[in-house]
Amino acid sequence: MAVEEATPLEGLKAELRKESRRAHLNFADLKSGGYIKQTQKDLFTVRLRCPGGRVTTEQMRVASEIAERYGRGTVHLTVRQSIEVPYVHHADFPAVQEMLKGVDWSIATCGPRVRVPTACAGCEYNPNGLGDTQGLCREVDRRFFGTPTGHHKFKISFSGCPIDCFRTREMDLGFQAMVGPRLDEAACNGCTLCVQACEDKALVMQAKLPVRDDSKCNNCGDCIKVCPIDAMLPRQRGWLVRVGGRHGKHPLFAYEVARYVSDEQVFVLIERALAWYRENAEGRERLGAAIQRLGLNRFIDEAIRPTGVEVIDNEADRRPYWTGGNFYDRAAA
């Protein structure tokens, strides 16, 4: 194949192109981590910031446009609800930034930082939902976006009920909505629907009234939702807090450390857990590994208890919230 003979003018143009590409490479942007190096030379995957997997249709259009102009006409939906545009040349980063700015959008983070939080639909329209997962997720993203941890990644997720579609057990910090039921004995007509609805067999009929075994109740609220005359009522609502989970090569199921935590307390807990992680972890250790090394009780005493939330202190109280077969069993054995 013949080597292309460049005319002097074309050679000059090529030089200029190279120059401008070099000038446009913004290393601060690269470090924040939303651009991920691909196996292909000079090409990157642009990860977009989609807290809770919620984006506007306008943002969708811009993502498509970026993919058409600077990628290869495809986007990739990640397991953590992000939209990624693969095959973007680093010379095009400034143009991509500009387009994102136009719809008040930005790239995501990776590396040793607080990652963009994930969340299910929650109570907004999911019939099982007990908490405003989307609202809280958005606010957590706003307050903690990209906060450096000094060690490793830090993942936060929100699930609207114990079905836990957003796998709060596998997060550094997971929040799952919960509700504690109470019976209005005078109102109850003994119809047994709540007993039928409880999958965990936490309710049994005794003397024509449903009686709850709290050691079995996982606070799903199904009994409340089914009761035709509102004799089963919510006593307490909030978030169940899980810490130290992760997936990856060495997966770990999280510990339940607090319950009935309010929305405001969620922010406080994130701050405290992050501070504890920063101070106590070693190297690239994840939060769960630091907790295993230093002890769950120490973590609870130093990071959780001072916030005044309802702490879960013992294995028996954790039992209704986890599925078994995880490292608790191995640790106990």
Partner 1 sequence: MTARRLEQNASAGVPEVPLVDCRGVACPTNFVLVKLALEELDPGGVLDVLLDEGQPMRNVPRSVKEDGHRVVTVEPQEDGSFRLRIRCGA
**Measured from the CB atom, is 92 or 164 closer to ligand SF4?**
164
Structure tokens at 110: 């990776």
Q: Is 214 in the site for partner 1 (CB under 8 A)?
A: no
**Measured from the CB atom, is 107 or 198 closer to ligand SF4?**
198
Which of ligand SF4, partner 1, none interacts with 183 (beta carbon under 5 to 8 A by kind)?
ligand SF4
Cβ at position 330, least distance to partner 1 in Å:
34
Which of ligand SF4, partner 1, none interacts with 294 (beta carbon under 5 to 8 A by kind)?
none
Which of partner 1, ligand SF4, none interacts with 196 (beta carbon under 5 to 8 A by kind)?
partner 1
Q: Is 331 in the site for partner 1 (CB under 8 A)?
A: no
Which of ligand SF4, partner 1, none interacts with 261 (beta carbon under 5 to 8 A by kind)?
none
The 10 Å CB-count burial string (b at 16+, else e) for 40-64 is: eeeebbbbbbbbbbebeeebeebbb
**Which positions from 93 through 152 interact with partner 1, judged by CB under 8 A?**
127
The 10 Å CB-count burial string (b at 16+, else e) for 101-120 is: eeeebbbbbbeebbbbbbbb
Cβ at position 175, least distance to ligand SF4 in Å:
11
Mask of contacts with partner 1, 217-246, x by CB under 8 A? -----x--xxxxx-----------------
Cα(128)–Cα(126) distance, rounded to whole angstroms? 5
**Measured from the CB atom, is 149 or 176 closer to ligand SF4?**
176
Cα(269)–Cα(266) distance, rounded to whole angstroms? 5
**Measured from the CB atom, is 8 or 127 closer to partner 1?**
127
Among 19, 35, 26, 102, smallest CA distance to 70 is for 35
Which of partner 1, ligand SF4, none interacts with 295 (beta carbon under 5 to 8 A by kind)?
none
**Measured from the CB atom, is 91 or 191 closer to ligand SF4?**
191
What's the Cα-to-Cα distance from 218 to each of 15, 161, 265, rounded to whole Å?
Answer: 66, 10, 21
Cβ at position 81, least distance to ligand SF4 in Å:
12
Cβ at position 322, least distance to partner 1 in Å:
22
Which of partner 1, ligand SF4, none interacts with 225 (beta carbon under 5 to 8 A by kind)?
partner 1
Largest CA distance in the chain: 98
Burial, 290: exposed, middle or buried (Cβ in 10 Å; 0-12, 13-18, 19+)?
A: buried
Strand 43-47 relative to strand 35-37, pairing = antiparallel
Residue with the CB atom nearest ligand SF4 in the bound state = 160
Among 23, 33, 103, 25, smallest CA distance to 65 is for 103
**Measured from the CB atom, is 33 or 53 closer to ligand SF4?**
53
Cβ at position 289, least distance to ligand SF4 in Å:
27
Helices 57-70 and 93-102, interaxial angle, to 10°?
160
Cα(68)–Cα(204) distance, rounded to whole angstroms? 59
> Which residue type is seen at 117?
P
**Measured from the CB atom, is 62 or 183 closer to ligand SF4?**
183
Q: Is 193 in the site for partner 1 (CB under 8 A)?
A: yes
**Which positions from 155 through 184 interact with partner 1, judged by CB under 8 A?**
none
CB 70 within 8 A of CB 35: no
Quote the distance between the C-alpha of residue 150 and its chain's center.
Answer: 19
Cα(59)–Cα(33) distance, rounded to whole angstroms? 20
- Binding-site member from 10, 199, 279, 329 for partner 1 (CB under 8 A): 199
Instruction: Give me the residues that bind partner 1 (CB under 8 A), please.
Output: 127, 191-193, 196-197, 199, 222, 225-229
